[in-house]
Amino acid sequence: MRDRPRPAPSRDLDTHEQIAEMVRQFYADVAQDDLLGPMFNEVARVDWSEHLPKLTDFWCRALLGMTGYQGNPFRAHLLVHAQRAFTPAHFERWLTLFHETLDLGWIGPNAQRAHDLADNVARVHSRQLLGQAIAVAPSAGS
């Protein structure tokens, strides 16, 4: 799907609907990814119909200041890590897919904030779970 030519992004992540679309596109790729898919589908046994709205709420809070998100992302990842250890490659692949999703569909201040927040989440979670933060390449627009 990503090989088809697309128009240059012209919209920002400035509505709940835009964020929900980004989350759906990103996690569709994650669920099918050879490295990440097994962690989400087999280890964490994610119920996507339940999880996608929570992820949308997380990003809506982070980018738009909307209320509604309740959760502890680190605790959820810690429980998965206890069953099957994450590696630096997991965090690097998650970031690559996230940045690709954003770059293919969104541009603007909130899209850049999403890039930066994803980098920070990957750094913090990898440091907490693996004992060292992964190296993060500068994202588009930085």
Contact indicator for 89, 52 with CB cutoff of 8 Å? no
Residue 135 domain-assigned?
Answer: no
Q: H helices then E strands: how many in the chain?
A: 6, 0
- Residue 107's CB: how many other CB atoms inside 10 A? 17
For the segment 71-84, what is each residue's pLDDT rounded down to a tens digit? 888 998 999 999 99
Residue 94 domain-assigned?
Answer: yes
Q: Indicate whether 18 pLDDT > 70.
A: yes
Q: Determine the pLDDT at residue 141.
A: 47
For the segment 29-42, what is each residue's pLDDT rounded down to a tens digit? 999 999 999 999 99
Contact indicator for 142, 111 with CB cutoff of 8 Å? no
Residue 138 domain-assigned?
Answer: no
Residues 6+ apart with CB under 8 A from 31: 37, 40, 41, 46, 48
Residue 141 domain-assigned?
Answer: no
CATH of the domain at 30: 1.10.490.10
The two structure tokens encoding residue 95? 């970031």
Q: Determine the pLDDT at residue 1.
A: 47
Contact indicator for 31, 97 with CB cutoff of 8 Å? no
The two structure tokens encoding residue 31? 């669920």
Total structural domains within the chain: 1
**What pTM, to 2 d.p., does this model score?**
0.89
DSSP H helices, 33-108, are: 36-38, 48-64, 73-83, 88-105
Q: Determine the pLDDT at residue 9.
A: 83
- Residues belonging to the chain: 142
- 55: containing domain: 16-130
Burial track 30-56 (b if 16+ CB lie within 10 A, e otherwise): beebeebeebbeeebebeeeeebeebb
